[in-house]
A and B are shown apart, each in its own frame.
Chain A
Amino acid sequence: MNVHPIAVYSPHRTVWIYVIASLFAWLGIYFNLAALTDAAFSMLPLQRDTPMGDAVHFFIFDTPKVLLLLTLIVFAMGIVHTFFSPERTRALLSGRREGAGNVLAASLGIVTPFCSCSAVPLFIGLLTAGVPLGVTFSFLISAPMVNEVALALLFAMFGWKIAVIYLGLGLTVAIAAGFVIGKLKMEGHLEDWVLAIHRSRLQIEGIRKSWPERFVEGGRSVREIVGKVWPYIIAGIAVGAGIHGYVPEDFMASIMGREAWWSVPLAVIIGVPMYSNAAGIIPVVEALLAKGAALGTVLAFMMSVIALSLPEMIILRKVLKIRLIAVFAGVVACGILLVGYVFNAVL
């Protein structure tokens, strides 16, 4: 990296110091969390072995852990996002054929900054740049589903293995569903005004950013994302804590267990009207899992909540005719179902 001599006196240096100091503080707190929460718990007039005590202990142990990991991962992803932009993704994807294009599109979905309110311009921007419909869908499925909040929470609550499995399965669903939609040749089911748009002309030139600027962006995503989802997470952990303390062991095994074959489709259907509160749902899901729910069912539920949301479909209705939306939802739902069943069968 090229350091300009003026940088020594500039605010850039302060940013570096701030980032490094925060990182050390983070590490210090994170690795002493068990001791800190035990100390906090011992100040309360509660016993671990009572339902109330168990619930409260779960709450005060999980809340800081989840928020800390979320902050770090959102910060890191905020920095990664500065290396990518929708325009760059479009340039990388235009002219790609199906197959390899689907894989690339799904992967770019993870690292490209994406907000579901921009789904429509993004969709059109990709199509008009010559990206095939199926490849565009791979991106559109992967971007919200494999997002940093979901991954951070899975990592915090279930460990890295499940986070990696979720990442792999999310990508697989996005690649396969996009591929299938591409093969169905449904270009005619776009709304007419979309078909009438010609190649877009704009290129906003990318500005090369320095590392401190990227750090500032990372900090900004932390404020934006963590600032928005923390109430859901705390509510989720509180519900999870209640389930933890009061719901009997193996209670969920009968309704969400591996033997109940119908639980996977049911989980997917229940997941559709729920939107974006993955942040609040994962802590609940963890508690369900601890009470005997099957992992495949739970993951299917999560994916359905995040990838198939009613509000997003309403937004997409502006560009897609009903039949294409139905196919999109159907194909993704089938992919999720398959993931749920395979998981329950294998593990």
Chain B
Amino acid sequence: MKEIKVLGSGCTKCVITAKLIEEVAEEKGIEVRLDKITEMAEIVSYGVMSTPAVVVDGKVVHSGSVPDRVRVGSWLR
């Protein structure tokens, strides 16, 4: 099971990102645990400078925009 965290203060882009990941995971039939991290101290502890950012299994894989579908798919393998 993949542990995925979406980092962001709760802006629309972060919500869209989380939803997109859920969708793609469901399409691919991959089990994920998705957490939305909105606590600033925790967000910055990952060292990201722009949100939404995505953390997969403890590693930051994306930051600063809504990722595209292909990109999301590449994390869910």
Chain A interface (Cβ < 8 Å from any Cβ of B): 85-87, 90, 113-115, 117-118, 120-122, 124-126, 128, 193, 197, 200-202, 204, 315, 318-319
**A121/B60 in contact, CB under 8 A:** no
Of listed A121, A125, A318, residue having the most chain B CB within 10 A = A121
B50 contact from A121, A128, A201, A315, Cβ within 8 A: A121
Chain B interface (Cβ < 8 Å from any Cβ of A): 8-9, 11, 13, 40-41, 43-51, 60-65
Besides A202-B48, A315-B9, 8 other A-B contacts (C-beta < 8 A): A85-B64, A90-B49, A115-B50, A121-B43, A121-B49, A197-B44, A197-B45, A202-B60
Contacts of A315 in B (CB 8 A): 9
Interface of A is mostly: helix
Complex Cα distance, B60 from A313, in Å, reads 28
In whole Å, how far is B10's beta carbon from the nearest beta carbon of chain A? Answer: 8
**B44/A120 in contact, CB under 8 A:** yes
Give the residue name and chain of the B residue nearest to A86 (CB): B49
Contacts of A118 in B (CB 8 A): 9, 49-51, 64
In whole Å, how far is B14's beta carbon from the nearest beta carbon of chain A? Answer: 8
Say yes or no: A113-B64 contact (C-beta < 8 A), given A86-B50, A121-B48, A318-B40.
yes
In whole Å, how far is A222's beta carbon from the nearest beta carbon of chain B? Answer: 14
Give the residue name and chain of the B residue nearest to A319 (CB): B40
Complex Cα distance, B46 from A197, in Å, reads 11
**A124/B44 in contact, CB under 8 A:** yes
Give the residue name and chain of the B residue nearest to A202 (CB): B47
A193 contact from B41, B43, B48, Cβ within 8 A: B41
